[in-house]
């Protein structure tokens, strides 16, 4: 009887120990900040994030707009290298900036884009 109790206790600790060892992997994330040539953040700039064809044959093509802090937040299901194009129209001119995101699991990638 004592052996059964000891085996049950050891198995319970083993299950608890091994279940805590598994780590959830966070999805790849990115934070894009848009600046003008005077280093001021640009709000409500159009940010296009895309890839023609990633490793899993999924097409990614999203358009977002920067918030009042000049930031766009992006989360993906997959690791990927994505292109960025930023546009902001002011009165009579269109300002453009380009960049690249490199998304990896468990990481947040920060990219600053300057529009000219």
pLDDT tens per residue across span 37-73: 999 999 999 999 988 665 555 578 899 999 999 999 9
> 86 pLDDT exceeds 70?
yes
Among 46, 18, 28, residue whose Cα is nearest residue 115: 46
User: Are 28 and 104 a contacting pair, CB within 8 Å?
Assistant: yes
Query: What's the whole-number mean pLDDT along residues 12-34?
Result: 73
Query: What's the whole-number mean pLDDT along residues 65-84?
Result: 93
Domains in the chain: boundaries:
25-114
Global pTM exceeds 0.85: no
Return the structure tokens found at 37: 């040539």
Is 2.60.40.1120 the CATH classification of the domain at 25-114? yes
């Amino acid at each position: 009887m004592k052996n059964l109790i000891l085996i049950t206790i050891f198995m319970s600790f083993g299950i608890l120990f091994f279940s805590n060892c598994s780590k959830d992997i966070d999805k790849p994330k990115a934070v894009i900040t848009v600046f003008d040539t005077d280093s001021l953040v640009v709000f409500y700039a159009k940010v296009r994030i895309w890839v023609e064809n990633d490793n899993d044959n999924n097409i990614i093509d999203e358009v977002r707009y920067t918030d009042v802090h000049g930031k766009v937040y992006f989360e993906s299901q997959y690791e990927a290298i994505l292109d960025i194009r930023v546009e902001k129209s002011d009165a009579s001119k269109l300002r453009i900036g380009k960049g690249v995101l490199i998304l990896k699991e468990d990481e947040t990638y920060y990219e600053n884009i300057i529009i000219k």
